[in-house]
C-alpha cells in the first residue's frame, strides 16, 4: 500500500492504483482536471478516505517546521496526513511534500521524477524589516511584502 498524490491518479494506469490510498479531497481535484478519469477512479480506483484531525495537525506542523506550509494546498495537507497516519510511502512529484517527508524521515518516492536530494527549510521573510512570519502576504509589523527564502 502507498499513499498516492494526484499526479499518480492522473497518469498511472488504473491497475497500478488499485492498492493505493488517497484523500477524498483529491476526487474534487481530479474531477476538475479530468472528468473522465474521475469516473474511472470512483468506480475502480484506489481506496479513498479522510485523514484524522490529529494526522492533519501533524502534517501542518511538519510543513510549518520546514517552511513549506504556505506552498501546500489543503489537498496536499490531506495527502501528507494520510501518509503520516498510515505509515505508508507517499508517492508524489511535489517537491514541498517530498521535503516535508524527508524532514520527518517518512518514506516517499516520485511519480515520474526523481525528487529532492536534501531537506531544505524556508521562511517567509519581510522585505522591509526582515521579520520572519508564519503566513500571509504582508508583514504584520511593517506592512511590507513577504518573500519566501531558503534558510
User: Domain spans of the chain?
Assistant: 2-109, 121-151
Say what the pLDDT of residue 143 is: 85
Report pLDDT digits (tens) over 77-136.
999 999 999 999 999 988 889 989 998 999 999 886 554 465 556 667 788 887 877 777
* DSSP per residue, 96-123: HHHHHHHHHT--EE-SSS---SS---EE
| Interval 69-83 mean pLDDT | 94
Q: Calculate what percentage of the chain has a pLDDT beyond 90.
A: 48
| Interval 140-150 mean pLDDT | 79
Give the whole-angstrom CA distance, residue 126 versus residue 149: 10
* DSSP conformational letter for 19: T
Give the whole-angstrom CA distance, residue 116 versus residue 26: 23
Give the whole-angstrom CA distance, residue 10 versus residue 58: 27
Record the cell numbers describing residue 1, joined without a space: 500500500
| Interval 19-26 mean pLDDT | 94
Residue 6: pLDDT over 70: yes
Architecture of domain 2-109: 3-Layer(aba) Sandwich (3.40)
Amino acid at each position: 500500500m502507498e499513499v498516492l498524490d494526484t499526479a499518480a491518479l492522473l497518469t498511472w494506469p488504473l491497475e497500478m492504483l488499485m492498492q493505493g490510498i488517497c484523500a477524498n479531497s483529491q476526487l474534487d481535484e481530479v474531477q476538475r482536471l479530468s472528468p473522465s478519469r474521475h469516473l474511472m477512479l470512483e468506480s475502480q480506483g484506489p481506496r479513498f478516505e479522510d485523514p484524522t484531525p490529529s494526522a492533519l495537525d501533524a502534517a501542518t506542523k511538519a510543513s510549518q517546521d520546514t517552511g513549506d506550509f504556505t506552498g501546500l494546498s489543503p489537498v496536499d495537507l490531506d495527502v501528507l496526513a494520510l501518509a503520516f497516519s498510515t505509515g505508508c510511502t507517499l508517492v508524489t512529484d511535489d517537491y514541498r511534500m517530498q521535503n516535508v517527508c524527508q524532514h520527518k524521515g517518512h518514506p516517499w518516492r516520485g511519480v515520474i521524477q526523481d525528487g529532492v536530494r536534501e531537506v531544505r527549510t524556508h521562511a517567509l521573510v519581510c522585505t522591509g524589516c526582515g521579520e520572519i512570519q508564519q503566513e500571509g502576504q504582508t508583514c504584520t509589523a511593517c506592512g511590507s511584502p513577504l518573500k519566501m527564502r531558503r534558510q
